[in-house]
A and B are shown apart, each in its own frame.
Chain A
Amino acid sequence: MNATMDENLKTTISNICREYGNDRTRLMDVALSVQERYGCVSDDAMDVIASALRTHRVEVASLVSFYSFIKDKPNGRIVIRLCNSIIDRMQGMGHVAEVFQRELGIRMGGHTADGKIGLEWTSCIGMPDQAPAALVDDVVCTRLSTDTAKQIVEDLRQHMDPKRLVKKLGDGNNAHDLVQAMVENNIRLGGPAILAPMKAGEALTNALGMSPAEVIRNVKNARLRGRGGAGFPAGMKWEFTRAGASGRRFIVCNADEGEPGTFKDRVILTEYPDNVFEGMTIGGYAIGAAEGILYLRGEYSYLRAFLESVLAARRSRGLLGKSVCGKTGFDFDIRIQMGAGAYICGEETALLSSCEGERGDPKTRPPFPAQKGYLACPTAVNNVETYCCAARILERGAAWFAGLGSERSAGTKLLSISGDLRRPGVYEVPLGIKLQDVLKLAGAEDAIAVQIGGAAGQMVGPADFSRLICFDDLATGGSIMVFGPGRDLLEAVDAFMEFFVHESCGYCTPCRAGNVLLRQGLQKIRHGKGEPLDLVYLKELGETIKIASRCGLGQTAANPVLTSLEKFRSVYEGRVTPAPDGLQPEFDLAVAVAEASKIAGRKSVHLTE
């Protein structure tokens, strides 16, 4: 790099840092801006950032190395990211990936010799209802085929403009000027609470007519439980946060929808963003916060400009800003924090770390976010859908909401259904609905297995289809993946384990090391080298990871193996054979000596064909 360019880089990056007030806690935004401008955060860039933010360069390197969408070296001016979720693979991603590699003349993970186009795998991008799908920079390309893959490469070579890959716009706001995406909403079943319009400001006005304690009481009386998957009572969370230390408090919306197979927040944010922001504002009033943050996953950055415009419109209508709705003393505004490709940031404390400009490591609990969250201030973190429900409760009343759903699981729930079925998409159903009724609605009557709750959830078979979708039986944050006749379930389990190995933050031993071992044990069976004792090994190891891991990711990562072992034992048993000599084959000799054989230029005499 010559001296003038060096000066340019220094000036540009210093300006980016200044834009964020040279605030160390905004390192995430700084790194993302630099990434966007230069295609990476280089060694030189790290030095400039570290000095501007008065931090250490290793702190910058630590953040940069954590997030999949931030690089320390460029991987193509345009990056094509293919979704490697099991649903995408079932729908032909393997062939699509081959075509991309062939047409670009590179392997996955590489970039073209001219440095123009890079190609990578990425975890579920939230489009399994229109799989196989990919991100080309932040442009979503859905329903890929080998033909469209070829066309994409041809087009990019010609114009190098991902936006021009969108030839047909999707429905609803996907066609909005600020979105311009080919994404389809696939709303198959609307409902009264979430997928329904609301007059902006109505619920908020109702809330502001009450005391904060009354608002919380309403949410509690509605028996609203968190929609992200854990099901913690939302009113109670708000009450705890309100009881936290005085001073700054925060409302955070978790829109890091990373659970494989989940895409309902994508639809809410596209069609009903006002309801989300209204719910956040009500939450802000209830807990006594003046600031809100919407943490939007990097995969959904195509929605960012649109969401910013919705926020701007709310500000100009007095629904955000100083004295919201004319209520003196209640000031509230919302900013959008972008994520950058890290599933762990859907864990609420990891999400807060990320907002603070740190690696997405979960925090030690206690203290809980309600006591010490964002910037060590009391913080309530809720899911996108939870805020929608909260707004609806303040619009229609607690009793009305509590009357929906079942006794212990009030309200409706959005389900994202994908896989082997006729009508993939989003469904708003009352909680307490039977799984088989959902499968019928979606056209999945011949399912042999259903993964409920995403990779972190559980795999169930027909014997469980009469069970109920609710917090106390089959709990789910909304992901339902359907596997039809002929599917290899162990392939799905393996894909989920690959996902967890890739997404583990690495903080604690059981999750970091254990999941690697668990996947290896599973692969041994998939490769036909397993014996019956391996099933005992998988179960013990899986339980160790579940019990000893530090956060929800590790505590649920072994679920695909553990639940499939329980429900589909015969599938495993059919794939293992007792070792003939009673010895357990620890490793594959041929693979182990492959590198040595290559160097020696001959095959080991101990290898049999």
Chain B
Amino acid sequence: MSEKITFILDGNTIEGEPGQTILKAADAAGRYIPRLCSHKDLVPHGSCRVCTVLVNGRPQAACTQPAAEGIVVESGSPKVQKLRTSIIEMLFVEGNHFCMFCEKSGNCELQALAYRFGITAPRYPYQFPYRDVDASHPDIFLDRNRCVLCGRCVRASRDVDGKNVFQFVGRGRDKRIAVDARAGLSETNAAVTDKAIEVCPVGAILRKRVGYAVPVGKRQYDHEAIGTEIEKAAPAR
């Protein structure tokens, strides 16, 4: 057993392992810090910034920032929650997200975050970008309209599947997911069983022919807010 470190998260003392990120340490203590690009099985990316916290007053991404002895972390304050709300709203308006038509609805982490934050409609103007859809693969559907550029598929395909099927191209607002082929996904060695397909938090990468296998109303976030699973698993406080 290595030495423990302790730090303060919203007034609570948290114990963590040296080298652990703030987010991992908080998870283990049953304290949920909202996140989107972060995934438990993948290396952290620090891109969505939903997990932004103030560490001794300085903004940091909890998913990449190491926990350190004695730091004071502010996560649940109105100031930080407002920041996160803005970021989630930005993600909604920069893509084309139509929850009511989306097969991912109820299982979607972006939608679930919006519910948790009480967002009914974003304050920012919709951008309605033109984005390509790739339905070439027999089993996988790639709809960039719903992509939030979290890079989970990129990391999973590279680090878990060992395939590098996905990668980002372009920069700034033209940044988008590309596949390792001249044309479409069907030319790659992507398989429906790949980790890259499983980890998409939104409806950008979907399995074909399983639509509505689980009816609306019985989906993951239909009754419980996102993050509840972490809060419930809390050790006795």
Contacts and interface: CB of A to CB of B under 8 A. Distances in A.
A59 B165 CA distance: 10
Interface in A1-58: 43, 47, 56-58
Interface string A270-303: 0000000000000000000000000000000000
Interface in A50-81: 56-59, 61-62, 65-66
B4 interface: no
B94 A512 contact: yes
Contacts of A364: 44, 46, 64
Contacts of B48: 508-509
A589 interface: no
B61 interface: yes
Contacts of A507: 47, 175
B173 A516 contact: yes
Contact of B171 (A65, A510, A517, A548): A65
B96 interface: no
Contact of A550 (B61, B164, B173): B61
Interface residues of A, number: 41
Interface stretch (A93-101, A229-237, A247-255, A497-505): A497-505
A590 interface: no
Nearest to B127: A516
Nearest to B87: A509
B169 A548 contact: no
* Listed residue (B61, B167, B178) with the most chain A CB atoms within 10 angstroms of its CB: B167
B156 to A, nearest CB: 15
Interface in B176-209: 178-182
Nearest to A516: B173
A366 interface: yes
* Listed residue (A56, A66, A501, A510) with the most chain B CB atoms within 10 angstroms of its CB: A56
Contacts of B179: 58
A56 B164 contact: yes
Interface in A152-171: none
Contacts of A61: 167, 169, 178
A47 to B, nearest CB: 8
B76 interface: no
Tell me the dominant secondary structure on chain A's binding face. helix
A360 B172 CA distance: 11
B15 to A, nearest CB: 21
Contacts of B87: 509-510, 544, 548
A54 to B, nearest CB: 12
B125 interface: yes
A64 to B, nearest CB: 8
B124 A506 contact: no
A547 to B, nearest CB: 5
Contacts of B171: 65-66, 342, 344, 359-360, 504-506
Contacts of B49: 508-510, 548-550
A512 B125 contact: no
Interface string A575-600: 00000000000110000000000000
A24 to B, nearest CB: 12
Given A509-B91, A512-B94, A550-B61, A66 B170 contact: yes
A213 interface: no
A513 interface: yes
A359 B91 CA distance: 22
Interface in B111-169: 124-125, 127, 149, 164-169
B194 to A, nearest CB: 15
Nearest 5 pairs of A and B residues by beta carbon: A506-B175, A58-B180, A65-B169, A513-B90, A513-B94
24 contacts: A47-B182, A56-B164, A58-B164, A58-B181, A61-B167, A62-B168, A62-B178, A66-B171, A342-B171, A504-B173, A506-B149, A506-B170, A506-B172, A508-B48, A509-B47, A509-B48, A510-B49, A512-B175, A513-B93, A513-B94, A544-B87, A550-B46, A550-B47, A550-B61
Interface of B: 44, 46-50, 52, 59, 61, 64, 66, 83, 86-87, 90-91, 93-94, 124-125, 127, 149, 164-175, 178-182
